[in-house]
């Protein structure tokens, strides 16, 4: 019977168990987006997971939408990530970096006065996360065709730096209303060029990025992060089963290492369709508890289970899952704070 402790093979990644640390923005990098020694300890504590997906990591200076999120576009960042990777590898866990461009989910104040970019010039509802005083999102600038292709190259360069740093692979962040998702879904993509209109065109940007990552890493070390429910950052798609079904088929043809979906379980969930159409290992995530996660593994509906907020509050969550031990409660107020409080000071079962 497959359970939390069963080893897994995801492409070229041999995992010691089926528990995954979900990507979690924690804003503990420097102003220059260099990972810190505090981050080394944070990831070391959680390397009981078979697979660690890093917090979303920006591919370029103009890809940002939050302060103090880490990057992977210069040598200082590469050198700092090496210490984190070593700490994870010392516990026989795998660590994959999640590569990120936020697109329209930013603000000129974070971009040296420049206007955020997107698939189309459609303003998202809502306000910019964590910036104070609060301010609304602005209307983004639609990327020119040549600019889209240049961003694909930025992903390639970041993937190359990930290899230099020693990561075990890359995950392409195509979820949660960020730039790739803005190309995928119809509510944010009204383009007339080869990146707009049909599902084949709307998925082109994602697939070109995936192909660039495969060129660097091989398919067996590339994953993709999707949010088929479209429930973040004012997203929406006219036919999500068609859109994400096509994406799944294309990723399956490429035989990537895994697909991760952030989608709570309900009658209208698309994740099982994605798993079936892709045929690649599938990581389930969102609002899972011990019982629901175990049921997904035992039934074969998921090949691994990922936890976000529970892993913030429980650095030894894998052990707690296996032993059916109680979980610490999350302090929401310190999720994006500075320093160790609410970051590396949550207690483990052994103190």
DSSP letter, residue 350: T
Q: What is the pLDDT of residues 197-215, one digit of tens each?
A: 999 999 999 999 999 999 9
Query: Is there a contact between 85 and 91 (Cβ–Cβ < 8 Å)?
Result: no
The Cα–Cα gap between 306 and 285 comes to: 5
Residue with tokens 């989910």: 105
Q: How confident is the model at residue 217 (pLDDT cuts 50, 70, 90)?
A: very high
Q: C-alpha dihedral over 199, 127, 58, 178, to 10 degrees?
A: -10
Q: What is the pLDDT of residue 100?
A: 98
Q: What is the pLDDT of residue 257?
A: 99
Residue 20 has pLDDT above 80, yes or no: yes
Q: What is the pLDDT of residues 94-110, one digit of tens each?
A: 999 999 999 999 999 99
Cα 208 to the chain's mean position, in Å? 18
Q: What is the pLDDT of residue 55?
A: 98
Question: What is the average pLDDT score of the chain?
Answer: 97
Q: What is the pLDDT of residues 75-84, one digit of tens each?
A: 999 999 999 9
The Cα–Cα gap between 121 and 41 comes to: 41
Q: What is the pLDDT of residues 25-77, one digit of tens each?
A: 999 999 999 999 999 999 999 999 999 999 999 999 999 999 999 999 999 99
Q: How confident is the model at residue 268 (pLDDT cuts 50, 70, 90)?
A: very high
Q: How confident is the model at residue 1 (pLDDT cuts 50, 70, 90)?
A: confident
Rounded mean pLDDT, 83-92: 98
Cα 86 to the chain's mean position, in Å? 21
Query: Is there a contact between 174 and 98 (Cβ–Cβ < 8 Å)?
Result: no
Rounded mean pLDDT, 241-265: 98
DSSP letters for 66-135: STT--B-SSHHHHHHHHHHHHHHHTTT-EEEEEEE--TTSS-GGGTTTPPPEESSS-PPSSB-TT-SS--
Q: What is the pLDDT of residue 350?
A: 85
CA distances from 188 to 41, 70, 272 (A): 39, 26, 25
DSSP letters for 249-284: HHHHHHT-SEEEEE---STT--HHHHHHHH-S-EEE
pTM above 0.95, yes or no: yes
Query: Is there a contact between 320 and 326 (Cβ–Cβ < 8 Å)?
Result: yes
Q: What is the pLDDT of residue 85?
A: 99
Residue 351 has pLDDT above 80, yes or no: no
Q: What is the pLDDT of residue 126?
A: 96
Catalytic residues: 178
Reduced to 3 states (helix: H, G, I; strand: E, B; else coil), residue 286 is coil
Strand 94-100, strand 141-142: pairing: unpaired
Q: What is the pLDDT of residue 171?
A: 99
Percent with pLDDT over 90 in the chain: 99
Residue with tokens 């979303």: 56
Q: How confident is the model at residue 121 (pLDDT cuts 50, 70, 90)?
A: very high
Q: What is the pLDDT of residue 289?
A: 98
CA distances from 244 to 191, 197, 277 (A): 19, 15, 10
Rounded mean pLDDT, 288-296: 98
């Amino acid at each position: 019977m497959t359970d939390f402790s069963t080893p897994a093979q995801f492409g070229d990644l041999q995992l010691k168990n089926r528990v995954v640390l979900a990507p979690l923005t924690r804003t503990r990098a420097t102003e220059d987006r260099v990972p810190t020694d505090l981050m080394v300890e944070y990831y070391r504590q959680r390397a009981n997971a078979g697979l660690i997906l890093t917090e979303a990591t920006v591919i370029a200076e103009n890809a940002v939408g939050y302060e103090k999120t880490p990057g992977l576009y210069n040598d200082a960042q590469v050198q700092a990530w090496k210490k984190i990777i070593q700490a994870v590898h010392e516990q026989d866990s795998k660590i994959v970096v999640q590569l990120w461009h936020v697109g329209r989910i930013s603000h000129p104040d974070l971009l040296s006065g420049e206007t955020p970019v997107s698939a189309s010039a459609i303003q998202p509802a809502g306000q910019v996360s964590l910036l104070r005083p609060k301010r609304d999102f602005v209307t983004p600038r639609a990327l020119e065709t040549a600019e889209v292709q240049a961003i694909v190259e930025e992903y390639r360069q970041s993937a190359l730096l990930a290899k230099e740093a020693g990561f075990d692979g890359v995950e392409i962040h195509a979820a949660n209303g960020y730039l790739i998702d803005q190309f995928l879904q119809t509510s944010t993509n009204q383009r007339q060029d080869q990146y707009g209109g049909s599902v084949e065109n709307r998925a082109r940007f994602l697939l070109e990025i995936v192909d660039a990552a495969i060129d660097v890493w091989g398919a067996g070390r590339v994953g993709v992060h999707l949010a088929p429910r479209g429930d973040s950052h004012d997203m929406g798609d006219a036919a999500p089963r068609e859109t994400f079904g096509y994406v799944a088929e294309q990723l399956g043809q490429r035989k990537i290492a895994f697909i991760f979906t952030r989608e709570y379980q309900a009658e209208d969930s698309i994740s099982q369709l994605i798993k079936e159409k892709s045929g690649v290992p599938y990581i389930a995530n969102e609002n899972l508890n011990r019982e629901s996660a175990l049921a997904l593994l035992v039934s074969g509906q998921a090949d691994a289970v990922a936890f976000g907020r529970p892993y913030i509050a429980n650095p030894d969550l894998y052990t707690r899952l296996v032993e059916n031990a109680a979980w610490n409660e999350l302090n929401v107020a310190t999720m994006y704070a500075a320093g160790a409080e609410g970051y590396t000071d949550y207690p483990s079962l052994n103190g």
